[in-house]
Amino acid sequence: MSDAHTKQEVRQFYDRIGWNEGSEGFYQNARYEDLRSVSHGYIHRCHLRVNRYLPPKGQFLLDAGCGPIQYPEYLTYSAGYRYRVCVDISIVALQEARTRIGKHGLFVVADVANLPFKSQAFDGIVSLHTLHHVSIPDQKKSYNEFQRLMKPGASSVVVNGWKASPLMRRMQPLIKGMERLFGKNTGKSPRTSHSEVESISPVEKEPTGTYVQKLTAQGLREMLKGMDFEIRCWRSVSVRFLRAVIQPALLGSFWLWLLYYLEEAFPRLLGEKGQYPMVILRKSE
């Protein structure tokens, strides 16, 4: 399948399904997240990690593959910026994003691998859970675009899951055992009705819904050779792990506090071995 065809398919998925709101007020895309209250504090703190590696203020923050800016924490990334430049191939994503940030946003339909902006235009760049929707050569092009678009002194934060997380592979027996004990959990809030839960397909693996191409840590290092970058932990566990292993009745919140502090203590190790790394690119002054 050509890159153009793949992008068309991804766009259609987000326009027609991903960014449609279900009756609970969540986007369909939220089925790929654990929205239970037991996990909320942990997920909230992981989202806020992005802020540590972005310049706190500036003129333009680029959000490449912005989606609808679906979580409140995402608003904090551009709080110190004059404009958040929202780029997405899905027009529905941009329409939704505009309802959240109005005049603080500039909204552009574009492909993350071919960005229509002049070089060194941005003080900061974020790209969350987006690059895995383009082919590996286009992922490289996207990183090159971020490098080109950063002002000297700027940084970019890119979050995507690894192709295979060694940590999550080791956790498979635990995940499977807990799924046998507690059943497969959709990760929706307890307010969700039974019929709605059943209409969501069981979570066998991490679901994706559309084209996804992920890298290993080694593949990423080869791709970014010559760039100034580091890999840190954004979140070390998968959604499937959270839904299966973190149970409110089994001190779930406590285990997530502990996990968070382990991630803080070993950000590089858990960035490489865990499920979701944060790739930080820098451009020197």
Ligand X SMILES: C[S@@+](CC[C@H](N)C(=O)[O-])C[C@H]1O[C@@H](n2cnc3c(N)ncnc32)[C@H](O)[C@@H]1O
By C-beta, is 62 or 256 nearer to ligand X? 62
**Closest CB 123 distance from ligand X, rounded Å:** 19
Task: Please identify the residue of the shown chain whose CB is closest to the bound ligand X.
Answer: 67
By C-beta, is 62 or 154 nearer to ligand X? 62
Q: Which stretches of the chain bind ligand X, using CB under 6 A?
A: 7, 10, 14, 65-67, 70, 87-90, 93, 111-112, 128-130, 133-134
Q: Position 150: which residue type?
A: M
Strands (E), the chain: 58-64, 81-88, 105-109, 122-128, 150-159, 229-235, 276-282
By C-beta, is 27 or 179 nearer to ligand X? 27
3 state SS of 132: helix
Which of 69, 67, 221, 51 is CA-nearest to residue 130?
Answer: 67
Question: 82: number of CA atoms within 13 Å, CB side?
Answer: 5
Distance CA 140, CA 278 (A): 16
By C-beta, is 7 or 31 nearer to ligand X? 7
By C-beta, is 9 or 228 nearer to ligand X? 9
By C-beta, is 131 or 220 nearer to ligand X? 131
**Closest CB 2 distance from ligand X, rounded Å:** 13
Which pairs count as long-range contacts for 139-145, CB under 8 Å and 24+ apart, including other chains? 139/113, 139/213, 139/215, 139/223, 140/223, 141/113, 141/114, 142/64, 142/112, 142/113, 143/223, 143/224, 143/227, 143/281, 145/112, 145/113, 145/114, 145/115
Q: What angle do CA 132, 201, 165 make, to 5 degrees?
A: 40
**Closest CB 209 distance from ligand X, rounded Å:** 9
**Closest CB 266 distance from ligand X, rounded Å:** 24
**Closest CB 211 distance from ligand X, rounded Å:** 9
**Closest CB 174 distance from ligand X, rounded Å:** 27
**Closest CB 135 distance from ligand X, rounded Å:** 10
Q: Which two tokens stand for residue 90?
A: 């899905």
By C-beta, is 90 or 185 nearer to ligand X? 90
Torsion of CA 150, 156, 144, 14, to 10 degrees: -120
3 state SS of 185: coil
